[in-house]
Structure 1
Amino acid sequence: MRQPAPPGSPPRPTLQSVLRRAHLRLAFVAVAMAAVSLIVVAVIALRAYAGNNLNLLARSLGYTVEAALVFGDRIAAAEAIGLIANKEDVAEVIVTDGKGLPFAAWQLPVHSAIARFEREVAGIALPGPVTTMVLHDGIVVGQVEVRGQGSQFFGFLLGGIGGILAGLAISVLGAYVSSQRLLRNIIAPLRALAGVAHAVRRERAFEQRVEPVAIAELNQLGDDFNALLDELEEWQNTLREENASLEYQANHDALTGLPNRVQFESRLERALSRAAETGQRVALLYLDCDRFKEVNDCLGHEAGDAVLIGIAARVRAQMPEADLVARLGGDEFAAMLAPMREVASAGRIAEGVLATMAPTIVLPDGRTVAITMSIGVAVYPDHATDAIGLMRAADAAMYRAKRARPGSWQFAESVAGQA
């Protein structure tokens, strides 16, 4: 049996929420790893590209300031490097003469915090300053040192971050769409199976079944669950049949199939209660087979059983459908007539029952037996006011009829209110 959650414990997450969070994590990790890998590769490529570009730029500046170095024209050198550096992604250019002394310089002004941040990023990510010798007729007349600005790299970095954020947004959207599809393909079949399980547990609806689904594992789970329900339904039907059989056996005579004494007395009490409310009469016929012990002793128990079965069939055929005929035990039978409008009707029915006993009963071996019945009749509330008193009055009347003349019937002599 499932134990309830302890008080104060957090609620358990649903399968849908767990799978949705897993999708989001997977999407985030996948996009982040792809973005980081792409940025790393791009940074390496950009670093190599920036290094080559600075080398080319340094050579170009060397060719440009060669004449100025030879003739010692610092102003021309400064104008030349400034004209070129302003068009390139360059932060600083330093020109020295052949003795290593400063000759000319150019530096990009830093006007904002973003520019300073770009310069710091460039100092970390881009290659260090590139230096190239300036030759004139094979003689070193100076050198040019160039440091990159990093604007292109910084723009690429911002673009990469934007791409990551855009990828995460797309991943969230994709995870949501995927979770909805997952709900249809996985969660919905599981919910349907849980619904059937709840209906079976709460309502004992063993006839319900899980519908087939597209996913093989879930479909197999549904098939196994349906097979279990088949077994449970078969077990329940068998149990119902056994209960019905036990109930029938508890309330019916095994030989004749008629209601037994327990059921007869119970239904007689209910009939008397209804009669007390409506003011109607109820008649009780108490029947006993004459000389049955002689038949049983002389012809055997099999013949006795055949006689009892024959008597039960004849009495039942004589009674209206609404009446109750029962075997009280041994060779004693009883019939209830409810409601009884006229007391005389009970006598006519008793005479009819005795008339049906006139033909002999054929035994299984072909022999025949002549049977007579003695009947006592008691009427509520004329002869008794309760079930026990009515049965006693009818039983006493039956014995008077048997002593007076076997095969006859008599009314009870007791008065209303006496047992």
Structure 2
Amino acid sequence: MRQPTAPALPGRPTLQSVLRRAHLRLAFVAVTMAAVSLIMVAVIALRAYAGNNLNLLARSLAYTVEAALVFGDRIAATQAIVLIAKEEDVAEIVVSDSRGRPFAAWQSPTASAIARLERSVAGIALPGPVTVPVVHDGVVVGYVEVRGQGHQFFGFLLGGVGGILACLAVSVLGAYVSSKRVLRNIVAPLRALAGVAHAVRRERAFEQRVEPAAIAELNELGNDFNALLDEFEDWQNNLRHENASLEHKATHDALTGLPNRWQFEARLMRALDEAMVTGQRVAVLYLDCDRFKEINDGLGHEAGDAVLIGIAARLRTQLREVDLVARLGGDEFAVMLAPMRELASATRIAEDILSSMTPSIALSDGRTVATMMSIGIALYPDHACDANGLLRAADAAMYRAKRARPGSWQFAEGVAGQA
């Protein structure tokens, strides 16, 4: 089951965003440093290569124009350097005589912006012009000066920049894939744990648990958190059990297990409120044991308790599930019949209760005790419209029945009927 996740606090980045930015920064720094290092090494190597190449080219040109310098043939010298220059990556070739006066020259056209950019880059990155002497029979007859064009170097530079951008793109993609894996292995378990903690804090859902994680530390953290939830759940269950036990003790009689006077009056008031809306009747039967004092004084309190428990058990068997029977105190009991559609139902139940008391009650020592009940019946709204009034009317009717004939029932004054 997917756990609910706790929302991030406003203004604070999520762990996922922090890790993702860290991956991207690491990838960017690593690729940039590697690219810069490679480019620097390549530039140094290319610079040395370009210097050697220009020096070889200059020596080759010196051999080529040697005869032209000796014979003073400027045209032949110019044709020779032009023929070679067209095949090489050079920007300018200058041939001078032994006194350093220009003898022949060639310069690469720089009409295009790219050519001018290449020459500017070459002037910064490549070694300066290479000058070699032209020697004839051991005598210097002139000099050849060669300056590089930088076309190859510029192409390498563009390729290097393109390679860096491609590596950055691949690194970003790799960092994204890596962050997804981090999210699955690290962030997802932490989110699940935070979701469970949020549910526990807001909803007191101590039954929720954190799923196992693939990473050992996170799995151990989840196990510890689940153990803590186990303790909280046990504590909550014990607290609920204690509260239910306290509530039961506060609303039930300790000896018979029946509802006590407080619960009876509370439920009677709710029944009267509903009857006021529906227009139905509610009946209250007030019961008293006729021989309880004699039994309690003659046979002892244990025998009296056994009689009260036996009376409670017999009362339960004579009532519907919707009816309520309670012990009000001592040997007094009360029954609420709600709703009561027919008046005869109250008299029938009273007769059934009296009949159920006829058999003797067996005591723990083997003796038996006979007992009788006197019952008073009061009706809503015939005799009273509130709980206290109904109880008083039923109590008065019970005492009239006890005085008239123990073991009988009577209605409250105002309704005829007597057993």
TM range (shorter): 0.7 to 0.9
Alignment of 1:126-145 (within 5 A): 126-145=126-145
Judged with a 3 Å threshold, the aligned counterparts in structure 2 of structure 1 residues 128 and 294 are, in CA distance, closer, same or farther, namely: same
Q: Report the CA distance between 1:43 and its aligned residue.
A: 0.6
Contact 1:94 1:144 in 2 (8 A): yes
Contact 1:384 1:414 in 2 (8 A): no
Aligned to 1:39, the other structure's residue is in SS state helix
Give the 5 Å matches for 1:14-413: 14-413=14-413
Q: Is the 8 A contact 1:393 1:414 kept in 2?
A: no
TM-fit CA distance, 1:35: 1.8
Residues 69-116 of structure 1: per-residue CA shift (max 9 Å, x gap): 333433333332232223211222333444444443333343244333
Q: Which amino acid aligns with 2:75?
A: I
Distance 1:98 1:382, change over 3 A: closer
- For residue 335 of structure 2, give the secondary structure of its aligned residue in structure 1: strand
Normalised by the size of structure 1, how large is the TM-score?
A: 0.85
Q: What amino acid is aligned across from residue 23 of structure 1 in structure 2?
A: H
Greater RCO (CA < 8 Å, at least 6 residues apart)? 2
| Distance in 2 (alpha carbons) for counterparts of 1:94 and 1:394 | 136
- Equivalent residue pairs, number: 411
- The structural deviation recorded for 1:287 is 1.4
C-alpha distance in 2 between matches for 1:274 and 1:11 = 54
Q: Which amino acid aligns with 2:394?
A: A
* CA shift for structure 1 position 189: 4.3
Q: CA deviation at 1:268?
A: 1.9
How big is the shift at 1:58?
A: 1.5
In structure 1, the residue corresponding to 2:385 is in which secondary structure? coil
TM-score by length of 2: 0.85
Distance (whole Å) between structure 2 residues aligned to residue 214 and residue 110 of structure 1: 64
Identical counterparts, % of pairs: 81
> Secondary structure of 1:271's partner?
helix
Query: Are the aligned partners of 1:192 and 1:210 in contact in 2 as well (CA < 8 Å)?
Result: yes
Secondary structure of 1:105's aligned partner = strand
Give 1:272 shift.
3.0
User: SS at 1:58's partner residue?
Assistant: helix
Cα gap change, 1:114/1:399 in structure 2, threshold over 3 Å: closer, same or farther?
A: same
> Structure 1: 5+ residue runs without aligned partners?
none
| Structure 2 residue ranges without an equivalent (≥5) | 1-5
SS of 2:110's equivalent?
Answer: coil
Checking the alignment, whether the CA contact within 8 Å between 1:134 and 1:144 is kept in structure 2 is yes
Shift of 1:242: 2.5
Q: Aligned Cα RMSD in Å?
A: 3.1
Change (3 A) 1:17 1:341: closer
